[in-house]
């Protein structure tokens, strides 16, 4: 995924199927300057990771 798409998904009110290593995630924050995103894995709010947006994939794209 590119940084612009990550930002668009983060700001959109719709839900998008985004995956990290095949697992569903929610984008919690995007660091445009560094190309990084903080994502929540699954439904546990405290299970977050900061990863390169290149590792994120939008299902269906």
- pTM, entire model: 0.88
24 forms beta bridges with: 19
Domain total of the chain = 1
| Domain around 40 | 3-58
| CB contact set of 13 (below 8 Å; sequence gap of 6+) | none
Distance of CA 32 to the CA centre of its chain: 12
pLDDT along the chain (61 residues), means of 10: 96 94 95 97 89 95 66
CATH number of 12's domain: 2.30.30
Q: Distances in Å between the alpha carbon of 20 and those of 2, 17, 33? A: 14, 10, 20
Assigned token pair, 54: 């290149």
DSSP 39: E
């Amino acid at each position: 995924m590119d940084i612009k798409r990550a930002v668009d998904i983060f700001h959109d009110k719709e839900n998008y199927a985004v995956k990290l290593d095949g697992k569903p995630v929610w984008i919690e924050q995007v660091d445009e300057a560094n190309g990084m995103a903080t994502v929540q894995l699954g439904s546990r709010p405290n299970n977050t990771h900061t990863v390169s947006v290149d590792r994120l994939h939008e299902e269906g794209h």
